[in-house]
Structure 1
Amino acid sequence: MPKTEAELLAFLADLGITVSTRRHPPLYTVADSQALRGEIPGGHTKNLFLKDKKDNFFLVSVGEEAVVDLKQIHQLIGAASRVSFGKPEMLMELLGVTPGAVTVFGLINDTGRRVKVVLDQELMGHDVINAHPLTNEATTSIAAADLVKFVEATGHDAVILKVSA
């Protein structure tokens, strides 16, 4: 059973990580979320759930305005082949979220550590990063250093690479 937003926030608190979460109507796309731009400062994420031909899975978190070359990114992230978007069923199985709610916080549900996470270098240049807390009905703001701490606490390597153009 995937973790809930409350369980995620408790996990962060147990790590000594302070976050703020703002509730809003469901947001499914970056365009939807840009309506809140003046209200929530910091870097806003766009998250790509990808897989290669050998069923290796990747979560690539970039800034909302980032341009990512999906025909070339496999060379940067260590994929075995070109990548495609992972199916919604695998997204739910591995990260416990649905399309429209893809988030780096989903790593809390990847207990088998099947997903390699890549945080874009440009995104990580922000002091504060904003991501959905396992639901697209809220946005959680977290310090960039604390996001790395969270990723590592889930047993994943916080790989920071320049993946956006």
Structure 2
Amino acid sequence: MELQNGRPADAAGRMDKEIRTYDFLDGLGVDYQRMDHEAAFTMEACKEVDEALGVEMCKNLFLCNRQKTDFYLLLIPGDKVFKTKELSKQIGSARLSFASAEYMEKYLDITPGAVSIMGLMNDKNNVVRLLVDEDLLKEEWIGCHPCVNTSSIRVKTKDMFDTVMKAMHHEMTVVKLTGEENK
């Protein structure tokens, strides 16, 4: 695994959604570093990538309400425990659960294991609400997948939430998660 600046020199064999991610970032003039790696499906698999990128990958959880009418992309630090009840209170949505792969592909054009904030560029109708744990905003960098789980990128947190999110026409809701039941 080797850290490189910007997009890959050769796009051969790469999925369109990955290339669209690089096109999107390049079009905004946002600097990013990238690395290719074996498919990473779990936070444990991301540890080696984290070290090479010099950033802790965040957990990207795709959630929905019981009726499957409201969808959320929650970003939290990789080492933080997620408690549904704690989040439900803050966003006023009871009975949150993980959304199915069908909705993930429909709204974000992403498959399980590759969930990423970058998928919001594919949510043109703003169906998915972005939720970001306040602790992530304190970090210099944010690490994520470019819509596939065989590459990872890092972007300055300020660039991601000031420039990239505005260009995606998504606003974020900042939440405070402690991982404790009784909050």
How high is the TM-score relative to the length of structure 2?
A: 0.84
Deviates more, 1:56-65 or 1:37-46: 37-46
Match of 2:86 among 60, 72, 76: 72
Please report how far the alpha carbon of residue 77 of structure 1 lies from its aligned counterpart in structure 2 after TM superposition.
Answer: 2.6
**Aligned match of 2:21:** 8
**8 A Cα contact 1:25 1:137, kept in partner:** yes
Match of 2:54 among 41, 44, 54: 41
Match of 1:132 among 145, 149, 154: 145
With over 3 angstroms needed to count, the CA separation of the structure-2 counterparts of 1:129 and 1:90, relative to structure 1, is same
Quick one: distance in 1 between partners of 2:119 and 2:55? 20
**Aligned match of 2:9:** none
The runs of 5 or more residues in structure 2 that have no matched partner are: 1-14
Quick one: distance in 1 between partners of 2:25 and 2:114? 19
**8 A Cα contact 1:27 1:33, kept in partner:** yes
* Structure number with larger C-alpha Rg: 2
How high is the TM-score relative to the length of structure 1?
A: 0.92
Please report how far the alpha carbon of residue 164 of structure 1 lies from its aligned counterpart in structure 2 after TM superposition.
Answer: 4.1
Q: What does the per-residue CA deviation read over 1:119-155, in whole Å, with 9 as the maximum and x for residues that have no partner?
A: 1111121101100000000111000011112122111
Structure 2: which amino acid aligns with 1:65? D
Structure 1: which amino acid aligns with 2:88? H
Identity among equivalent pairs (%):
26
RMSD value, Cα: 1.5
**1:24 and 2:37 are equivalent in the alignment:** yes
**1:118 and 2:131 are equivalent in the alignment:** yes
The runs of 5 or more residues in structure 1 that have no matched partner are: none
**8 A Cα contact 1:49 1:85, kept in partner:** yes
Match of 1:161 among 172, 175, 179: 175
**8 A Cα contact 2:87 2:177, kept in partner:** yes
Quick one: distance in 1 between partners of 2:29 and 2:92? 32
Q: What does the per-residue CA deviation read over 1:72-111, in whole Å, with 9 as the maximum and x for residues that have no partner?
A: 31111332x2200001100000011111111111001101
**8 A Cα contact 2:86 2:177, kept in partner:** no
Please report how far the alpha carbon of residue 10 of structure 1 lies from its aligned counterpart in structure 2 after TM superposition.
Answer: 1.2
With over 3 angstroms needed to count, the CA separation of the structure-2 counterparts of 1:43 and 1:33, relative to structure 1, is closer
**1:85 and 2:98 are equivalent in the alignment:** yes
Quick one: distance in 2 between partners of 1:122 and 1:3? 32
**8 A Cα contact 1:45 1:131, kept in partner:** yes
In structure 2, the residue corresponding to 1:14 is in which secondary structure?
helix
**Aligned match of 1:58:** 72
Please report how far the alpha carbon of residue 53 of structure 1 lies from its aligned counterpart in structure 2 after TM superposition.
Answer: 2.5
**8 A Cα contact 1:3 1:109, kept in partner:** no
The count of residues paired between Structure 1 and Structure 2 equals 163
More helix, by proportion: 2
Quick one: distance in 2 between partners of 1:38 and 1:98? 24
